[in-house]
Amino acid sequence: PKHLLDFQSWSRKHIEDLFETAKLMQEVLSRPVKKVPALTGFTVATVFFENSTRTRLSFELAARRMSADVLSFSAATSSLAKGESYKDTLLTLDAMGIDAYVIRTDAAGVPYQAVRWLGKPIINAGDGWRAHPTQALLDAFSLLERLGSLEGRKIAIVGDILHSRVARSNAELLPMLGAEVWLCGPATLLPSGLPKVTMTTHLHEALRDADAVMALRLQRERMDKGLLPSLPEYVAGYQITQERLGWAKPGAPLLHPGPMNRDVELEGTLADAAQSLIERQVANGQAVRMAVLYHLLVGRKSA
């Protein structure tokens, strides 16, 4: 594939090849000197029209660790405030000689339009509610590392599914790798029309014998008033607690894409427990994003 917008043009083989490269990148990241010349001469632009900690920083480190130059665009300090459009902003950057773009927007669809505007590899770093494919890749990579295979594994994703691009991308990717995905939350925070997954409002049904559990944040910034049950009601019904995690298989890993609100979507101390993969997800994010940049810029014979 030329771009990573979602997984529509990616096959299971492409994903498995990418994960093989990510393992090589993990080896690079374990060395005292964490740098290779693979992307020397390339320039990667990170264009974030919406806030980010993990995705932006790990993409920028990923590019630098492979010796690419990085042009880091931040909406807050840009000429967007003077009325410049997304398109003109991207064309302005393109005139500076960019080879690949990592784009995040609060509006769904902008990375798809950027493919038409720019003719360069585009990586969707999260567009509105729609997709966040590199998050799903690093989640799947972390799950594979812990579980060995996702074939027939039950993965429960709990929280504000409606507003979650992470849930949508995982609902697309994890079944491609053989997993059974269960999405769970209050009825007002469950979307319709997601194929290949099971949707439920019953937490026990979602967590029972799960091989892994992922908690999601309540995205209040994207919510219409009235969508959320009260916070105490949400916590009472859906917070992932030690006791509720016990409904899953013994030792089932707990994931969270971040940013997390401790003691809301999950019991705060669980994030630091042995079952938690949260820091591992962040570490793997860098290796997976190195692999994505490498595959899109340099290419692979099998891709």
What is the size of the binding site for ligand CP (CB under 6 A)?
10
Q: Is 188 annotated as a binding residue?
A: no
132 vs 180 by CB, closer to ligand CP:
132
Interacting positions 178-207 with ligand CP (CB under 6 A): none
Q: How far is the CB of 104 from ligand CP (least distance, A)?
A: 8
Please, which of residues 114-143 interact with ligand CP by CB under 6 A? 126, 132, 135
In the list 15, 28, 36, 52, the residue contacting ligand CP (rule: CB under 6 A) is 52
Q: How far is the CB of 243 from ligand CP (least distance, A)?
A: 26
Identify which range of 30-38, 49-57, 113-121, 143-151 contacts ligand CP by CB under 6 A: 49-57
Q: What is the DSSP string of 231-296?
A: HHHHHHHH-B-HHHHTTSSTT--EE--S---BTTTB-GGGGGSTTB-HHHHHHHHHHHHHHHHHHH
Residue type, 100: A
Find the part of the chain contacting ligand CP (CB under 6 A) among 48-56, 154-162, 171-179, 204-212: 48-56
82 labelled ligand-binding: yes
Residue 152 marked ligand-binding: no
Q: What DSSP state is assigned to residue 269?
A: G
Residue nearer to ligand CP on the CB measure, 132 or 295: 132
Chain centroid to Cα 139, Å, comes to 7
Q: For residue 237, what are the CA distances in angstroms to 111, 233, 259?
A: 36, 6, 21
Q: Which of 221, 223, 128 is nearest to 185 (CA)?
A: 223
**Cβ atoms < 10 Å from Cβ of 269:** 12
Interactions with ligand CP, residue window 210-269 (CB under 6 A): 257-259
Q: Based on CB atoms, which residue is closest to ligand CP, 256 or 295? A: 256
214: its two tokens: 């992922």
Q: Is the peptide bond before 186 cis (omega within 30 degrees of 0)?
A: no
Pairwise CA distance, residues 90 & 177, whole Å: 34
Interaction of residue 54 with ligand CP, rule CB under 6 A: yes
Cβ nearer to ligand CP, comparing 52 with 201:
52
Tokens of 288: 């997976």
Whether 134 has a binding-site annotation, put simply, is no
Report which DSSP code applies to 109. Answer: T
Query: Nearer to ligand CP by C-beta: 191 or 258?
Result: 258
- Site of interaction with ligand CP (CB under 6 A): 52-55, 126, 132, 135, 257-259
